[in-house]
Chains A and B, each alone.
Chain A
């Protein structure tokens, strides 16, 4: 199990759905649980957000990977 927290770059308080491999799964700013370690495509369900390919590994619930998505 891996863990991430996704935020919108320069707008840390924005609440929106997070897209993992194009599917809605979790919310910005909240702890998101993933399956096995490895590469995933992460974006935010807001206009103009750029998708990032991220290798999520060696995380724990208390030390999740912090990811910023550029929606500028």
Chain B
């Protein structure tokens, strides 16, 4: 008996010794961080008169429909969101139409090829990224992410190799294991440098210190004195999908030097308006935080914590100097069709907590506070977009054809893919019970592939748009 206890004590001491040794070796093991702008220096501000993309135009793309501005937001929801986004984009690709360019050339195109901006959150961030990598990427992405058991691959990596390092290192966390997996096995190590100018990609995470959106743009990285070009796409997707508790936040470096914000007219203007305008106040707060270089690290979690559908990205473009705003004001080719597509893979499994006197357990509370309440906020943003579209079209009604910028504008199209819109109750119930995970069965994928094209094509505003496109 005494010998057995001695053996147990020996094993415990040996394990503690191994753990101590691993901690000594790995506790300072660093992940791959974003790189400083060292040697490259901050870019000078773009010359206002020679930047067509800043006017919402990409004249170097001859097959672009100059009269349309198409913006797509893809929600979070793990593999379900990626699968819904994938099928919705493929359905848009199947909607063919032709347009006549200003030089009289007839171009055969489709709705998906005319997408100007894609915003993605969490699971939606992966498919948004894949879409921006080009047509060839979609089939590859389907095999590598949508049809794959990513959860198993993640569990494998967390229990071996780098996962063991993550258990003992302070800076290298579990999210870094996930980021390396996505970087290596989903996006082939590609960085933001390979993305085209159009479509514009907006990947969102949440800055935990501010409770604010963090968007992976060159402007945001410039605020960190860092270069977005070197940053891996897989890492940005990992940050966007770092759901709290399940995965740690992903960390970025905030490098000196501070910028002279007094030279930035947008910042100065926002500061003047901050008292009356909450959005401007938040912009100022964010810029000030990044410019305070004692904040050496930026910790990012799932983008869904502040906007689970990416709709704030679309709302931003209605602001002064936003893409929609500039496009309306660009008179060489007046805007005719503003098309906003909200691909919402949100689900609402039945909540039966009201049937019992017992308070809801932790999973139910997490669901209610982090997911359900956020869905309500996202729905409000979708309503805000509707209001903005109405304001835009009201201006058109007011000025009629007298202002060239509004002369051809049609009523903006707000198209939604949302399981809530499924007419058949049994099909809707089945959709609402799809899991939020990084793994779907082939039956679940087949189900998504069947319902998403119907939802998209049957949306009343899509019906209207298709009728217009066929004219």
B-contacting residues of A (Cβ < 8 Å)? Answer: 1, 3, 17, 19-27, 30-41, 45, 53, 60-62
Contact = CB atoms under 8 A, between A and B. Distances in A.
The 4 A-B residue pairs with the shortest CB-CB distance, nearest first, are: A35-B319, A38-B273, A26-B329, A35-B320
Interface string B240-266: 000000000000000000000000011
Contact of B321 (A20, A30, A62): A20
Interface stretch (B77-85, B125-133, B169-177, B398-406): B398-406
Interface stretch (B48-56, B114-122, B140-148, B306-314): B48-56
A31 B403 contact: yes
Given A30-B405, A40-B269, A24 B320 contact: no
Interface in B40-89: 45, 48-49, 51, 54-55
A24 B319 contact: no
A26 B269 CA distance: 18
Nearest to B319: A35
B277 A33 contact: no
Contacts, number: 99
Given A25-B55, A30-B403, A38-B280, 4 more contacts: A35-B322, A35-B325, A38-B269, A45-B49
Nearest to B272: A39
Nearest to A60: B398
Nearest to B318: A35
B93 interface: no
A24 B48 contact: yes
Main secondary structure of the interface of A (DSSP, over half): strand
B222 to A, nearest CB: 15
Nearest to B405: A31
B424 interface: no
A23 B319 CA distance: 13
Nearest to B47: A24
B365 interface: no
A33 B51 contact: no
Question: Taking each of A26, A27, A37, A61, which has the highest tally of chain B beta carbons within 10 Å of its own beta carbon?
Answer: A61
B103 interface: no
Contacts of A62: 398-399
A22 B404 contact: no
A38 B277 contact: yes
A40 B403 CA distance: 22
Nearest to B329: A26
A19 B266 CA distance: 12
